[in-house]
A and B are shown apart, each in its own frame.
Chain A
Amino acid sequence: MDRAAIIGVGMTKIEKNKVRETFADMAWEAVNKALNDAGMTIDDIDNVVTASSDFWDGRTISCMAVGDASGAAHKNVSCVEGDGAYGALYGMARCLSGSYKTTLVTGHSKGSEGVSSLITNAAFDPIYERALGMDMVTACAMQARSYMHRTGTTPEQLALVSVKNHGNALKNPLAQLPLQITVQDVLTSAMIADPLHKLDCSPVSDGCAAVIIAHESVAEQFRQKPVWIRGVSFCADSFFFGDRDLSRARALAEAAKQAYAQAGIKEPQKEIDVVELHDAFTYQELLWLEEMGLASEATAGKLLEKGEFDLDGRLPVNASGGLLSGHPVIAAGLYSLASVVRQIRGDAGGFQARKAKTGLAHGVNGLAGQSHCVFILDRDK
């Protein structure tokens, strides 16, 4: 099969409240950063995919509001309602279709402008569930409880994810919330929804990220050495909460298995060098690692304590600081992709991992990880 590569990335700084930039202004900044990174002009882009959410943006057909700023005029432009990782998958498919050579993919949101609890409550089924008043935080808290009950993972181990990722963010100038904190700081922060404390949860954030994906026939014509997409897959679990084994993420296990197979990865624990995953809540980092086979069942917390997922550990996870240090919903998956691309290029600056030939980026859609998208990126084609 033909191959595609990521040849440019651009990200705005993630901030609590971007009062000087609209959605389109954020897209303008991220797109121009990506073009500069790639050594391209907008004329080198032959199609555009934007990712956004109408509910988060507070407008109908939200993608239409960022097309101009994304240079989509006179181009074929399409959109994804969901995490940017799925936009990147769509953008890659377009490059591999034979119809396009270079796709610009953007993802944006401003959490600061809506009310997260109401927006995520609306993800629940209106007939059977919504009126009960749960939202993303309480849904994920329920999953955290299930996971801890099944595996024996402790609140201290969850807290250590927060300590590590906020600490990593100290080395990432784009992160919103770099913090030097202790496990005790996390455990004594306010209880939000048992068992999740305030510092177990990602903050409300604004941001936009852009990536440029190219078909192999043109991928080496621009400034950057291409980072090759070796595998990508996404799978979804049941919509109704009570249908799922909430302590697990079977859709992620399946998506990872398929992505590894495409990339020819047989022993993910040995072959993957860096991971950026969807850590909207601390427990998720541990659960997702186990489901992706990057930690054996019920061991991620213990491996974390041994320092294996630290920047200088066996497998750096969320070296950028992750979503715990800044979580622009929808853009999140593109930030993960862009961070892995920078790692593989050796461009990650202060949070550069020692070895970063093969990386994994992960995006999530839906309540408590209903749907997962896994990318395997590699320096080699």
Chain B
Amino acid sequence: MSQFPDIEPMVYHSKINVPYRWWAGNTASRFYAALRDEKIIMGTKCPACGRVFVPPRKACPTCFTENMQWVELSDEGCVLSFTVARRQFAAIPKNRKTPVIWGLIKLDGADTALLHYIDEIAPENVTIGMRVRAVFAATRTGAIQDIAHFQPIK
């Protein structure tokens, strides 16, 4: 294709680095306040279909209704699926070393699953359906990392 086969291709290196701040809004702020201050995982229940969502929402995505009721969920649940990163992908936080295990965890009392880490277990021992419990971070700031990870229930 090239009209100039003897031209040496050059490359321009750069980096896009834009600070952002995403206000969490009333719903996620309440979820994170409960997590930070009381180590409680809250969900929202749709008054129409009765489904309980975690992470919580302002409106039910299925029924398109508001007036969600807050409900307290168990910090225990079961693993719906999981994966294990075997490479240090660029998106993995620097303080996490491979193998990193993520799970979709359906907490008792919830109808949807929460995405989080599974730890304190060898990757080959994780199974779909296994029971896990939230381990809360010692220092909590109002973020998803206020749950450090989920551990297997012995």
Judge: A and B partners, yes or no: yes
Q: How many interface residues does chain A have, given as a range?
A: 35 or more
- Is B53 in contact with A132, judged by CB distance below 8 angstroms? no
Q: Interface residues of B: mostly helix, strand, loop or mixed?
A: loop
**Given the complex of chains A and B, what is the CA–CA distance between A259 and B83 in angstroms?**
33
Chain B residues whose C-beta falls within 8 Å of the C-beta of A242 in the assembled complex: 54-55, 80, 104, 106, 112-115
- Partner of B117 from the list A132, A141, A238, A247 (CB cut-off 8 Å) is A132
- Is A146 in contact with B81, judged by CB distance below 8 angstroms? yes
A370 close to B (CB within 8 Å): no
A129 close to B (CB within 8 Å): yes
Shortest distance between the CB of A113 and any CB in chain B (Å) = 9
Q: How many interface residues does chain B have, given as a range?
A: 35 or more
- Is B104 in contact with A190, judged by CB distance below 8 angstroms? no
- Is A20 in contact with B2, judged by CB distance below 8 angstroms? yes
Shortest distance between the CB of B1 and any CB in chain A (Å) = 6
- Is B144 in contact with A133, judged by CB distance below 8 angstroms? no
**Given the complex of chains A and B, what is the CA–CA distance between A118 and B84 in angstroms?**
17
Chain B residues whose C-beta falls within 8 Å of the C-beta of A263 in the assembled complex: none
Shortest distance between the CB of B19 and any CB in chain A (Å) = 13
**Given the complex of chains A and B, what is the CA–CA distance between A21 and B1 in angstroms?**
9
A90 close to B (CB within 8 Å): no
Chain B residues whose C-beta falls within 8 Å of the C-beta of A19 in the assembled complex: 9, 11
B154 close to A (CB within 8 Å): no
From 1 to 47 in chain B, residues with beta carbon under 8 angstroms from any chain A beta carbon are: 1-2, 7, 9, 11, 14, 16, 20, 22, 24-25, 28
**Given the complex of chains A and B, what is the CA–CA distance between A141 and B104 in angstroms?**
12
Chain B residues whose C-beta falls within 8 Å of the C-beta of A191 in the assembled complex: 86
- Is B86 in contact with A190, judged by CB distance below 8 angstroms? yes
**Given the complex of chains A and B, what is the CA–CA distance between A141 and B100 in angstroms?**
13
**Given the complex of chains A and B, what is the CA–CA distance between A191 and B11 in angstroms?**
32
- Is A134 in contact with B91, judged by CB distance below 8 angstroms? yes
Can you list 8 contacts pairing A with B, beta carbon distance less than 8 Å? A58-B16, A133-B96, A138-B85, A138-B102, A142-B81, A146-B128, A193-B85, A194-B86
Enumerate chain B interface residues (CB-CB to A < 8 A).
1-2, 7, 9, 11, 14, 16, 20, 22, 24-25, 28, 53-55, 61, 80-87, 89-93, 96, 100, 102, 104, 106, 112-117, 123, 128, 143-145
**Given the complex of chains A and B, what is the CA–CA distance between A118 and B93 in angstroms?**
11
**Given the complex of chains A and B, what is the CA–CA distance between A80 and B22 in angstroms?**
25
**Given the complex of chains A and B, what is the CA–CA distance between A146 and B82 in angstroms?**
8
- Is A117 in contact with B16, judged by CB distance below 8 angstroms? no
- Is A149 in contact with B2, judged by CB distance below 8 angstroms? no
- Is B102 in contact with A134, judged by CB distance below 8 angstroms? yes
Given contacts A126-B22, A193-B86, A241-B104, contact A133 B61 (CB under 8 A): no
- The 8 A-B residue pairs with the shortest CB-CB distance in the complex, in nearest-first order: A242-B113, A121-B91, A141-B83, A19-B9, A117-B90, A133-B92, A117-B89, A128-B55
A137 close to B (CB within 8 Å): yes
- Is A128 in contact with B85, judged by CB distance below 8 angstroms? no
A135 close to B (CB within 8 Å): yes
- Is B22 in contact with A129, judged by CB distance below 8 angstroms? no
**Given the complex of chains A and B, what is the CA–CA distance between A144 and B53 in angstroms?**
24
**Given the complex of chains A and B, what is the CA–CA distance between A143 and B24 in angstroms?**
28
**Given the complex of chains A and B, what is the CA–CA distance between A19 and B8 in angstroms?**
9
A131 close to B (CB within 8 Å): yes
A222 close to B (CB within 8 Å): no
Shortest distance between the CB of B10 and any CB in chain A (Å) = 9
Closest chain A residue, CB of each to CB of B145? A131
- Is B55 in contact with A192, judged by CB distance below 8 angstroms? no
Chain A residues whose C-beta falls within 8 Å of the C-beta of B54 in the assembled complex: 242
Shortest distance between the CB of A120 and any CB in chain B (Å) = 8
- Is A149 in contact with B128, judged by CB distance below 8 angstroms? yes
**Given the complex of chains A and B, what is the CA–CA distance between A151 and B54 in angstroms?**
27
Shortest distance between the CB of B35 and any CB in chain A (Å) = 11
**Given the complex of chains A and B, what is the CA–CA distance between A370 and B149 in angstroms?**
26
Chain A residues whose C-beta falls within 8 Å of the C-beta of B83 in the assembled complex: 138, 141-142, 144-145, 193-195
- Is B102 in contact with A137, judged by CB distance below 8 angstroms? no
